[in-house]
Chains A and B, each alone.
Chain A
Amino acid sequence: MSGRRQTIRWRDIGVPLAVFLAALALWEGLVRWKNIPPYILPAPSVIFDKLIEDRELLFSSLMATLGVTFEALVVATVCGVALALLIAQSKWLERALLPFAITLQVTPIIAIAPLLLVYMRPDNAVLVCAFLVAFFPILSNTSLGLASVDFGLRDLFDLYHASPWQKLIYLRLPSALPQFLAGLRIGGGLALIGAIVAELAAGASGEGSGLAYRIVEAGFRLDIPRMFAALALISLSGLAIYGALAALSHVLLRRWHESARAREE
């Protein structure tokens, strides 16, 4: 049993890791074999050296981007859940508020960012951009969860004359938890994308602390290895955010929800 579980874990982690390392080796070999200069395509080893060499600068930029991403995700979670709860209380509120949320969602953030930069300080504009893209998946998923309560359980709570507050605490919120966590996983990745997009839009006018700014700056200097190094950090950050939120979801749902159970079995 444990042997089988170990095999599954090794297959899940080992196979993609092996493919990734093979792709890096191929990339490294190709660059060396064809003598491709680093300002066209740097080899992975050169990018790694750059990561080490510029670690202080890149790490402080990484912290700045992650800080904005985290702040945006927290605000998006609070606002998304609060609005989902409001919408769940009344169809009128849903009709009044949801179109605004959908409009914000379907308008590309790259088109909103320059406008926000006109009205706000760059760091606030970056935060708002990241918030806007992370907000909608949390809102829509939580709304779906709150509206998808089992009819039998609703009857049960009605039978025992549960108050609206009791229904919310003991029934609707726990029922919505799986969908909320799915929205949070999507929102976490999108918050990072929103922050990066806004930093790119802010460009030289920004305060120049985030990873996207490092990419823009390195592009101006034709420091292609640093561009790749910053890009690698962004990708790793996205994976880490998704992994952390997936782990949180697994911890909270593994004992009772089908989605987490399927992964366990």
Chain B
Amino acid sequence: MDAVTAAPALVSLRAVGKTFPNGLVALADYDLDVREGETLTLLGPSGCGKSTALRLIAGLANPTAGSIDWSAPHIKNNIGFVFQDATLLPWANVFDNVFLPLRLGGLTREAASPRVNEALAHVGLLDFSHALPRELSGGMRMRCAIARALVTRPALILMDEPFAALDEVTRFKLNDDLLALKRRLGATIVFVTHSVFEAAYLSSRIVVMSRRGGAIIDEISIDPAIPRNDDYRSSKTFADTCRRGSQALRVALEQATP
């Protein structure tokens, strides 16, 4: 058992269910611990309830059954969220987009400025603070969204397939940047993806979910001490993790097929 798996749970989902008004069961009797300091990836086919689990943790939706328990209530009120789309205000420049969470929290522009600039520096966008979202590339927009999630210095960052719409080169670069940020800031990350390779590269733990109410098919731990770089991508550990993740995904898809 490594340091991360031994760490206390930041948030625990217990017997959580989520049924939508149209009768669709997204999650049923779902248990999950998010442990302090880990990069946990929820991996699964489309419609398996990964994003629903993330929205429940963020408080953007309420469970229809079960409970969500927090180790400390203040963590719940300061969560960073990166959506699948960058979800930026199109009329506001990069600075104002990153400033938004602090503005909503009651900070003035002057008071917030050092923190906004710090977050922009973390993602390499300091020179683009006056640019509008439409003037940025897809990767830069996503960096802006990440800076916005970081600006409140959250203990927990939730990321819902943030790099799914990006090309592979940009995706690899952002994967490395995210790992560097993680090392620097130490936040707990819950990452949703349906890419086995991305999950194997980023995570310290992967939870593979099926379409049957989010049932957990497999749970794969990866030593977080292993450096994540090009060597890791060609290592046996990476290949084994991908193989095991792919097998679990196959089972998840077979379970979903009537």
Contacts and interface: CB of A to CB of B under 8 A. Distances in A.
Interface of A: 150, 152-153, 155-162, 166, 170-171, 174, 177, 255-257, 261
Contacts of B104: 157, 160-162, 166, 170
Contacts, number: 50
A162 B102 CA distance: 11
B112 interface: no
Interface stretch (B85-93, B202-210, B220-228): B85-93
Contacts of A161: 77, 104
Residues of A contacting B: mostly: helix
Interface residues of B, number: 22
Contacts of A162: 104
Given A159-B58, A159-B59, A256-B90, A152 B83 contact: yes
Contact of B90 (A156, A158, A257): A257
Given A156-B81, A255-B132, 10 more contacts: A152-B83, A152-B85, A155-B81, A155-B83, A156-B83, A159-B58, A159-B59, A160-B100, A256-B90, A257-B90
Nearest to A166: B104
B51 to A, nearest CB: 11
B58 A170 contact: no
B101 A160 contact: yes
A157 to B, nearest CB: 7
B1 interface: no
B142 to A, nearest CB: 13
A158 B100 CA distance: 12
13 contacts: A156-B100, A157-B104, A158-B59, A159-B59, A159-B79, A159-B81, A160-B100, A160-B104, A161-B104, A170-B89, A255-B132, A256-B133, A257-B91
A150 B87 contact: yes
Given A161-B104, A170-B104, A153 B79 contact: no
Contacts of B100: 156, 160, 170
B233 interface: no
B159 to A, nearest CB: 13
Given A152-B83, A157-B104, A159-B59, A174 B132 contact: no
A158 B77 CA distance: 11
A256 B55 CA distance: 29
Given A166-B104, A256-B132, A256-B134, A174 B60 contact: no
A169 to B, nearest CB: 10
- The 9 closest A-B CB pairs, nearest first, are A152-B87, A160-B104, A256-B90, A256-B91, A162-B104, A160-B101, A174-B91, A152-B83, A155-B60
B226 to A, nearest CB: 32
A107 to B, nearest CB: 37
A132 B103 CA distance: 39
B73 interface: no
Nearest to A155: B60
A157 B100 CA distance: 9
Contacts of A166: 104
Contacts of A257: 90-91
A161 B104 CA distance: 8
Contacts of B89: 153, 170-171, 174
Nearest to B60: A155
Interface string B32-65: 0000000000000000000000010011100000
B105 interface: yes
A158 B55 CA distance: 11
Interface in B77-123: 77, 79, 81, 83, 85, 87, 89-91, 100-101, 103-105
Contacts of A177: 91
Contacts of A155: 55, 60, 81, 83, 87
Nearest to B81: A159
Contact of A156 (B87, B105, B132): B87
A168 to B, nearest CB: 12
Contact of A160 (B91, B105, B133): B105
A170 B103 contact: yes
A159 B81 CA distance: 8
B60 A159 contact: yes
